[in-house]
Chains A and B, each alone.
Chain A
Amino acid sequence: MSLTDPTSGDDELLARYLDGRALLPGDAERLQAVLTDAATATRIKELLLVDNLLARSLAPERADFVNRMRSRLERAGESARFVSRVGEAAQRQTWRTRGRWLAWAAGAALAAGLMLIFFLPVTGVGVVESGSGRYWRAAVERPLTTGANLIAGDRVIAENTLRLHLNDGSSLTLDTDSELTLAPTAEVAAALVRGRVSAQVAKRPAGATWRLRTPYADVAVVGTMFTCALDAQGARVAVGEGVVNVETPHAAGSAHESLRLVAGEVVLAAPTGGLQRLPADLPSAGLLGWWSFDEELAGGIITVADRSGNGRDGRAEHCYSVPGIAGRGVAFKGRALIDAGLAGLGEPAEFTISLWLRTSSPHYGMLFSEVCTIGHGAGHPLHPGPPGDPAAAGRLSAAAPRSSGEQEAWLHSDRRVNDGTWHHACWWYREGVWRIWIDGQPQGEQRLPAVTPFDWANWRFCIGAGTEQMVYNFDGELDEVRVYGRALVDGEIKALAHPSGRE
């Protein structure tokens, strides 16, 4: 029997099989029969592999397997710790009452332990002041309403804004869908599992700290107000008043970091990116997109989040994570590129592109281009030097948009940047004038001749590559790419180049 003949009727069988294995009675047996032919079996296997490639390529969330695996691992770890706690509790109870329980089988003892944990002496840690949610206690989930008492080890999930009053006088406010465990250990007041919590911590005796645990760091507090949020980038701690010490976990094989935070924010990058103090004064007005590349990029196709809040998530292809200027950065080599997710932006009269780069390459490579343009031929490649011009090698450039057959008008930076160290680069455009900055220093200006207007209406910008043929790929590393729909003022560009708080 062959599946190569469309008239054989077996195409329908194969079509059903490939469509989520939607087989009819008898199909499985027919499939087995056709698979005994080696050539047909190979063909079907190749079709299954095509199916897998299509799923990876067209459903981008499927590309992010490593990060999902990390989350799964963390959830499994929490579950294991919970089971371990229950087991220890069961053991304590067994010792206490062993005379009466000797007849019980080991499995029954564990089950009894699970039930009897309710009767163990427990420490009340607080009460629900307002809001509602759910909580897990001894493997049982229950609704959580105003006035409910909470004990150590309770895992609380907020269904709406949930305010908890703790016995020590502190209060915690959980955002909707946030989750934390209360007093998981004697030293830790709460452990944030996901979401965001705001804390107002009661005054402590001298030397006593109040500790919030996150997967990425502990926040040790001495009488203060602060907020801690977990997202894909890690944990973010913002201090309202007072002082917070933020520390990375003491883990074997990783450096321990500590940061004293008086005001502002700190990001604790996931999972081992260390501590980074966020500048408080970076410009945000007019921000069209901001890609910090803090995701773990390990080849393949992975979504990179737009942190501007505009939802312009990008698509990294064949990129790899490297230590960046803030958290992770991204390395480009070969066919790597990032579709920045910017499209349909009209004809801007002004804009600014800011990024950090590190390269040692003398070769031409595009940093930000129209590689993914949809049906548009003109462009404004911004890259270290036009091809074939040795004098421009290693310098940052900007080129005017051009009509077909016209020469590009180039602006080159005075300095070179291909020295293997991180540099901040900024391209600025307003009404026919280009400017370039390197590390906050202006690098020249050029008024462009009459030019084709920037037509971003049909563009889809790519970072790190030149054309659809994948030529002029950038060879180096990038981080913190920001695109503004306005021309920033000098002070704003300097702030981007010298963010406050950076060591």
Chain B
Amino acid sequence: MDHAAFLELVARTEAPVRSYLAGIGVPVMDIDDLAQEAYLAHFRQAGAMPADADELGWLKGIARNMALRFFRTRARQGKPLGEVVELLEGATVTWSGGEDAQLDALRRCLSALDERTRAMFSAYYAEGGSSAAVGARFASTPEAVRILMLRMRERLRLCIERRLVAEGGA
């Protein structure tokens, strides 16, 4: 596979591959690294894929193996989360639309949040996902930041779901 064709494949499939990794519990800060590893593995062993295989499914399979290896490493560090991969993988999400539609819905839902919460989200994701850093910046405790962000994510989840249903049915 030449570079151009491979990068075209990346552009076409990176959103679902990264979404897949997120859905089985890979932390957002590690998703890009694992996805890159999966793509590189696929590039190096392009001939290993059966001719009739679904390329996205194949990539997800590689990504899954990468994720399991990642969780095994973390388990040795006292974070045994590999067991939840299968449980999460089996969970069904029925959101309609692709990532563009989901991002669009998210952006609209975010605009409904108050400014401070939006600023906290921005700080959290821009600064490497540290609730301690966000807490220090917003005069709060890491525990309070975690709970607040859980509640807000929950609100966003329901809002995105509503918007996707509304737009899917429009």
Q: Across the interface, do B31 and A52 meet the contact criterion of CB distance under 8 Å?
A: yes
A8 within 8 A of B: no
Q: Across the interface, do A42 and B92 meet the contact criterion of CB distance under 8 Å?
A: yes
Alpha-carbon separation in the docked complex, A41 to B86 (Å)? 11
In chain B, what residue has the closest Cβ to A48?
A: B22
Task: Spot the interface stretch: A59-67, A193-201, A356-364, A411-419.
Answer: A59-67
B55 within 8 A of A: no
Contact of A335 among B87, B104, B161 (CB under 8 A): B104
Q: Across the interface, do A36 and B100 meet the contact criterion of CB distance under 8 Å?
A: no
Chain B positions 43-89 with a Cβ under 8 Å from a chain A Cβ: 43, 74, 78-81, 83-84, 87-88
- With A28-B84, A50-B160, A335-B104 known as contacts, the answer to whether A15 contacts B150 (CB < 8 A) is yes
Alpha-carbon separation in the docked complex, A56 to B31 (Å)? 11
Q: Across the interface, do B126 and A12 meet the contact criterion of CB distance under 8 Å?
A: no
Across-interface contacts of B102 in A (CB, < 8 A): 49, 53
Across-interface contacts of A271 in B (CB, < 8 A): 3-4
Across-interface contacts of B3 in A (CB, < 8 A): 70, 73, 271
Map CB proximity to A onto B144-161 as digits: 1 under 8 Å, 0 otherwise: 001101100110110011
Q: Across the interface, do A49 and B95 meet the contact criterion of CB distance under 8 Å?
A: yes
Contact of B2 among A12, A47, A68, A253 (CB under 8 A): A253
- Contact count A vs B, C-beta below 8 Å: 173
Of B121, B126, B146, B160, the most chain A CB neighbours within 10 A belong to: B146
Alpha-carbon separation in the docked complex, A45 to B92 (Å)? 8
How far is the CB of B71 from the nearest CB of chain A, in Å? Answer: 9
How far is the CB of B80 from the nearest CB of chain A, in Å? Answer: 5
Alpha-carbon separation in the docked complex, A54 to B43 (Å)? 29
Contact of A65 among B23, B32, B88 (CB under 8 A): B32
Map CB proximity to B onto A8-49 as digits: 1 under 8 Å, 0 otherwise: 000110111011111101001001100110100111111111
Q: Across the interface, do A318 and B100 meet the contact criterion of CB distance under 8 Å?
A: yes
Q: Across the interface, do B32 and A68 meet the contact criterion of CB distance under 8 Å?
A: yes
A69 within 8 A of B: yes
How far is the CB of A292 from the nearest CB of chain B, in Å? Answer: 20
Q: Across the interface, do A19 and B149 meet the contact criterion of CB distance under 8 Å?
A: yes
How far is the CB of A269 from the nearest CB of chain B, in Å? Answer: 14
Q: Across the interface, do B40 and A51 meet the contact criterion of CB distance under 8 Å?
A: no
- With A41-B88, A73-B6, A335-B104 known as contacts, the answer to whether A300 contacts B25 (CB < 8 A) is no
B19 within 8 A of A: yes
In chain A, what residue has the closest Cβ to B123?
A: A58
Alpha-carbon separation in the docked complex, A46 to B25 (Å)? 11
Q: Across the interface, do A52 and B22 meet the contact criterion of CB distance under 8 Å?
A: yes
Interface size in chain B (residues, C-beta < 8 A): 66
B141 within 8 A of A: no
How far is the CB of A75 from the nearest CB of chain B, in Å? Answer: 10
Alpha-carbon separation in the docked complex, A41 to B29 (Å)? 21
Map CB proximity to A onto B106-138 as digits: 1 under 8 Å, 0 otherwise: 110010000000000110111001110000000
Contact of A57 among B14, B31, B93, B107 (CB under 8 A): B107
Alpha-carbon separation in the docked complex, A68 to B14 (Å)? 12
Alpha-carbon separation in the docked complex, A15 to B125 (Å)? 15
A298 within 8 A of B: yes
Q: Across the interface, do B27 and A58 meet the contact criterion of CB distance under 8 Å?
A: no
How far is the CB of B149 from the nearest CB of chain A, in Å? Answer: 7
- With A11-B147, A20-B29, A32-B83 known as contacts, the answer to whether A42 contacts B91 (CB < 8 A) is yes
Chain B positions 10-47 with a Cβ under 8 Å from a chain A Cβ: 10-11, 14-15, 18-19, 22-23, 25, 27-29, 31-32, 35-36, 39-40, 43
Across-interface contacts of B107 in A (CB, < 8 A): 57
Q: Across the interface, do A300 and B84 meet the contact criterion of CB distance under 8 Å?
A: no
Interface residues on A, range: 35 or more
In chain A, what residue has the closest Cβ to B144?
A: A15
Across-interface contacts of B78 in A (CB, < 8 A): 25
In chain B, what residue has the closest Cβ to A298?
A: B11
Q: Across the interface, do A58 and B126 meet the contact criterion of CB distance under 8 Å?
A: yes
Across-interface contacts of B29 in A (CB, < 8 A): 20, 55
Contact of B79 among A23, A38, A45, A76 (CB under 8 A): A23
B103 within 8 A of A: yes
Of A15, A25, A32, A271, the most chain B CB neighbours within 10 A belong to: A15
Across-interface contacts of A272 in B (CB, < 8 A): 4
Alpha-carbon separation in the docked complex, A72 to B104 (Å)? 29
Across-interface contacts of B84 in A (CB, < 8 A): 28, 31-32, 35
Q: Across the interface, do A301 and B91 meet the contact criterion of CB distance under 8 Å?
A: no
- With A49-B23, A52-B31 known as contacts, the answer to whether A41 contacts B106 (CB < 8 A) is no
Q: Across the interface, do A21 and B81 meet the contact criterion of CB distance under 8 Å?
A: yes
How far is the CB of A55 from the nearest CB of chain B, in Å? Answer: 4
Across-interface contacts of A28 in B (CB, < 8 A): 79-81, 83-84
Alpha-carbon separation in the docked complex, A28 to B88 (Å)? 13
Q: Across the interface, do B23 and A48 meet the contact criterion of CB distance under 8 Å?
A: yes
A179 within 8 A of B: no
Q: Across the interface, do A15 and B100 meet the contact criterion of CB distance under 8 Å?
A: no
How far is the CB of A114 from the nearest CB of chain B, in Å? Answer: 21
Alpha-carbon separation in the docked complex, A70 to B106 (Å)? 28
Q: Across the interface, do A300 and B23 meet the contact criterion of CB distance under 8 Å?
A: no
Contact of A59 among B83, B125, B142 (CB under 8 A): B125
In chain A, what residue has the closest Cβ to B28?
A: A55
Q: Across the interface, do A45 and B103 meet the contact criterion of CB distance under 8 Å?
A: no
Q: Across the interface, do A20 and B27 meet the contact criterion of CB distance under 8 Å?
A: yes
Alpha-carbon separation in the docked complex, A476 to B66 (Å)? 41
- For the complex with contacts A42-B93, A66-B14, A70-B7, 18 further pairs of A-B residues with Cβ separation under 8 Å are A11-B150, A12-B143, A12-B146, A18-B150, A31-B81, A31-B84, A32-B87, A45-B93, A46-B161, A48-B25, A48-B88, A51-B28, A53-B103, A54-B28, A54-B121, A66-B10, A76-B40, A253-B4
Q: List 24 A-B contacts (CB under 8 A).
A: A18-B149, A21-B27, A21-B79, A28-B84, A31-B84, A36-B87, A41-B90, A45-B91, A46-B95, A52-B18, A53-B106, A54-B106, A55-B29, A56-B99, A65-B14, A68-B32, A68-B36, A70-B7, A73-B7, A271-B3, A271-B4, A299-B11, A300-B103, A335-B104
Cβ-closest 7 pairs across A and B? A52-B22, A41-B91, A15-B146, A35-B87, A298-B11, A58-B125, A55-B28
